[in-house]
Chains A and B, each alone.
Chain A
Amino acid sequence: MTKRRIVLRRALSALVLVAVATTGRAQDSKQQFPVATKTLKNGMKVLVQTDHSIPNVALYIFYKIGSRNEHPGTTGISHFFEHMMFNGAKKYGPGDLDKAMEANGAANNAYTARNTTVYQDWFPRSALNLIFDIEADRIQYLSFDPKKIESERGVVASERRTSVDANNAGILDEQLWATAFTAHPYQWPVVGWMSDIEHWSLDDLKHHFEMGYAPNNATMVVVGDVSADEIFQLCEKYIEPIPQHAPPPPVTTMEPEQLGERRLVVHKEAQLPLLMIGYHVPQTNSADFYALNILRTVLVRGESSRMYQRLVDKDQIALEVGASQEPDLDPTLAVFYAQPKQGVDPQKCEAAIYDELEKIRKTPISDLELEKAKNIRLVEFYRQMRTINGRANTIGTYEVFFGDYSKLFDAAKNYGAVSKEDVQRVAQKYFGANNRTVATLIPDTGEQGSAKQ
């Protein structure tokens, strides 16, 4: 769907396929993209990669806290807190942080996910000291202005209306996770339920800050026109004096095994239906990660993929078909989605998806398909590594979700080791009927009555 005029980039990237992957030439890439590391005395790990190709720097701080660490009643507090991290500390009061950064050529952003809250700074190297001053200020001395809390509540409600109310994929994805998970915190949306957004208190925010924002619960990644030594020196000056404290309590709830198919329907004013199917799969650092990635590549990546060929090209029942699996610390979902054509019963798309999964469960993929999938992973690796921003995000993601950034360079070996039989085995193990949740959006045409074909 490249031809429609997309106005807004999606804030809720439920459908983004996160491909953290590589293959081939592991040693080469490790030497090409060396990383220097240091663990500060307060426990924060710092990773630095030098690249002088542009006079800029990308700095990411990953805090291991997200909606996974929340509880009913205050869902979405991690995300709301992320917004408050821009609304004033001790040295930089409300509004000062953004004004100081932009006046010095810097931009910032942040995102909250199920397991992490990630802060991003992009700046010319001349702003290096300022960025450290700001980051140290807000990690230590965040303040909560009651007036700012109320106006930011309105901002987050608007964000939710845009990413959920006005986005059919957003609303269906939210319902899918709420149904597939009955015990584990992945059941609630990162943005939070609207009634929780309306009721967070100052105390909830303070508690969240104390729980999650310890330096020993964070990883900093710096990539760009810097040297490792100067970053480590800045860290010693600005970050190291910040005392460590207890990290968030472990999340011990495990989702019980799903023992049968779950189905849900959303009726909404719309012209086209929508379909999502979620299967429980293991967390990112499991041994099956690589085979699952290869399987997904064969099924949905590119117009030669099995599901595109089947649903979009041959049967012509869908406009689009895809799959996603985001990085997660706990067992999560692999989600297939399809945009059926107007008037097509989503169950037709559902049946075609099951049929394609069944084929792989019965017969291994071809050698050519396996080779294609591995080739695609190799190019994806370079696509992630070609910008300082992409590198900072990828290095940090590997460090947090695999427990070691250098797994990025081992991925080559791990993908290389995946066999056709491995792909078949994970298809058999995870993509059965009892393990799935099926979400369908059915167009409700309102006062007009039945849908036009």
Chain B
Amino acid sequence: MNGKMKTARFAAGTLVALGLAWTSSAQTLRLPPHEKVTLKNGLTLLLMEKHGVPIVNLAAIVKAGSVADPAGEEGLASVTAGLLRKGTAKRSAQQFAEDLDFIGAEFGAESGVDFTSISAEFLSKDVDRGLDLFSDALLHPAFAQTEVDKMLAQDIDGIKAAKDEAQSVTLNYYYGYLFGKHPYARSEGGDEISLSRIKRDAIASFYQANYAPSNTILAVAGDFNAAQMRAKVEQALGNWTRTGSPQAAIAAPAVVKGKRLLLIDKPDSTQTFFAFGNIGTAVNDPDRVAIRVVNTVFGGRFTSQLNEALRVESGLTYGAESFFDSRKEPGGFAIYSYTKNESTAQAMDLALQVLARLHQDGVTPEQLASAKAYLKGQFPPEIETSGQLARRIARNEFYGLDDDEINQLEARIDAVTPAVAKQVIEKHFPGDNLVFMLIGKASEIEPVVRKYATQRDARKITEPGFWPPPAK
């Protein structure tokens, strides 16, 4: 199927919208009631009843993401998460899959930058079996050598397969180049070289150090009675005792000064995929709502300034957008688009002009009002389901955000004035300091993109790793 497909979506948590639920009488959006309990072993449990369809969702956060990977063994957190379901003390990998699939349940475990997410979804009638599978994977993974070998081999080939599709690795290269030596430069899944270095012992040690009740937040949302669910969770996870290491603090990444450009050569490319920007903002940034409103005007929806210029008015691309990929410390900001080889410079020049115009002219009151209405109108479906709600409250707990993040959202959006927008543009949107990353046919586009930066670097997409080039 081919769609108009408005704004491209970034899966890396970029456009994680805030969600809410609705109480029609008050005309304000509020989170459904939920409770927070700390179990005796230190695990933080969040419970939210959400009836409608007979589904239960579990969303756990273990406070160790790719930032906890040892240098040279990037991907360790990711591989550890992936192996949780690949055999436990009492189930083989195959048995786990059989038991899970028999009830039509889903189980997922993957590491992000700041934390690892482990989730499950099943029908409410299967809650005992579902909880047993979830706790079995979380508490008793076996890390059998044969499964370790299989997963590492698959992940290495998976990266090569991803590189065959340029747009799927754009952010790996861009963040590598933007963050440099900072841990946020890492690809969560590692690379072809770092994965080949990972040994079973390192996985088991990583698990022992980080997977502990005191390091874990578990949100349960869905069709159940909260008191009964609490008892069931206590039974399933209450005996889990391990003292994990607390998360090590990391420094805030420094804003990049000057201009630099990385060109990744993919010789068969008919389009150039480009991202440019600088360091963005942290999840807890006090300006976060205003940034969201301004970015909606600039590059966060179909009628954004960027998409209007590059798609609607000129037909240079199928989509152009901008986003703040916020993390515990400031994450990346990027302007992203793609265009045919011949129009590479034309599209990039235009995107730069739109950015310069943002600084020069700001946003009009009309654009601001529209963006505010748009954000409020598109908000409710973001936490419509128990799965969305469970992930949302677990994430808020991790980042130390309270319920006002949702309950006060409309008021906070309404409070963004043209003066606030002006400050946000000056403070958070990059000006002359820019990091550029392009994937395309170097023999055609290299001569025309030299002008963007005097410091330039290049690699072939088939060379192992992203950026910086891994030490052999």
- Identify the stretch in B131-139, B241-249, B310-318, B351-359 within 8 Å (CB) of chain A at 4 or more residues: B310-318
B residues 1-27 near A (Cβ < 8 Å) are 1-6, 8-12, 21-22, 24
Residue contact B303 to A124, C-beta cutoff 8 Å = no
Bound form: Cα–Cα A102–B271 in Å: 30
Q: Does B203 contact A (CB under 8 A)?
A: no
- Encode B76-101 as 1/0 by CB contact (under 8 A) with A: 00100010010000000110011011
Residue contact A387 to B165, C-beta cutoff 8 Å = no
Q: Does A304 contact B (CB under 8 A)?
A: yes
Main SS of chain B's interface residues?
Answer: mixed
Tell which of B21, B150, B268 touches A313, judged by Cβ atoms closer than 8 Å.
B150
Residue contact A161 to B270, C-beta cutoff 8 Å = yes
Contacts of B313 in A (CB 8 A): 151
Residue contact A8 to B376, C-beta cutoff 8 Å = no
Residue contact B3 to A166, C-beta cutoff 8 Å = no
Residue contact B2 to A158, C-beta cutoff 8 Å = no
Residue contact B318 to A376, C-beta cutoff 8 Å = no
A residues 304-325 near B (Cβ < 8 Å) are 304-305, 308-309, 312-313, 316, 319
- Encode A150-161 as 1/0 by CB contact (under 8 A) with B: 111111111101
Q: Does A207 contact B (CB under 8 A)?
A: no
User: Considering only CB atoms, which chain B residue lies closest to A344 in the complex?
Assistant: B157
Bound form: Cα–Cα A7–B173 in Å: 11
- Identify the stretch in A107-115, A280-288, A404-412, A413-421 within 8 Å (CB) of chain B at 4 or more residues: A107-115
- Identify the stretch in A49-57, A214-222, A251-259, A430-438 within 8 Å (CB) of chain B at 4 or more residues: A49-57
Residue contact B189 to A4, C-beta cutoff 8 Å = yes
Residue contact A95 to B312, C-beta cutoff 8 Å = yes
Known: A122-B378, A150-B315. A271 touches B160 (CB 8 A): yes
Contacts of A342 in B (CB 8 A): 157, 160
Residue contact B104 to A376, C-beta cutoff 8 Å = yes
Tell which of B55, B98, B108, B462 touches A386, judged by Cβ atoms closer than 8 Å.
B55
Q: Does B468 contact A (CB under 8 A)?
A: no
Bound form: Cα–Cα A304–B85 in Å: 12
Q: Does B302 contact A (CB under 8 A)?
A: yes
- Encode B122-166 as 1/0 by CB contact (under 8 A) with A: 110000000000000000000000000010011101111111111
User: Considering only CB atoms, which chain B residue lies closest to A309 in the complex?
Assistant: B94
Bound form: Cα–Cα A437–B146 in Å: 35
Q: Does B380 contact A (CB under 8 A)?
A: yes
Q: How large is the interface on A (under 10, 10 to 19, 20 to 34, 35 or more residues)?
A: 35 or more
Residue contact A385 to B10, C-beta cutoff 8 Å = no
- Identify the stretch in B225-233, B252-260, B367-375, B422-430 within 8 Å (CB) of chain A at 4 or more residues: B367-375
Residue contact A158 to B78, C-beta cutoff 8 Å = no
User: Considering only CB atoms, which chain A residue lies closest to B266 in the complex?
Assistant: A269
Contacts of A98 in B (CB 8 A): 302-303, 312
Q: Which of B161, B171, B336 has the most CB of A within 10 A?
A: B161
User: Considering only CB atoms, which chain A residue lies closest to B78 in the complex?
Assistant: A3
- Encode B313-350 as 1/0 by CB contact (under 8 A) with A: 11111100000000000000000101110000000000
- The smallest beta-carbon distance between A271 and chain B, in angstroms, is 4
Tell which of B2, B103, B270, B311 touches A165, judged by Cβ atoms closer than 8 Å.
B270
8 A-B residue contacts at CB 8 Å? A4-B168, A161-B271, A162-B271, A163-B2, A269-B266, A269-B267, A271-B164, A383-B55
Known: A155-B311, A272-B161. 10 other contacts (CB 8 A): A4-B168, A7-B168, A8-B167, A53-B384, A55-B22, A105-B377, A150-B315, A158-B340, A269-B266, A312-B154
Where the two chains meet, the residues of A that have a C-beta atom closer than 8 Å to any C-beta of B are 1-9, 11-13, 16, 52-56, 79, 82-83, 86, 95, 98-99, 102-113, 122-124, 126-127, 150-159, 161-163, 165-168, 190-191, 268-272, 301-305, 308-309, 312-313, 316, 319, 326, 339, 341-342, 368, 371-372, 375-380, 382-383, 385-389, 446
The 5 closest A-B pairs by CB, nearest first: A105-B377, A154-B315, A379-B104, A151-B315, A303-B97
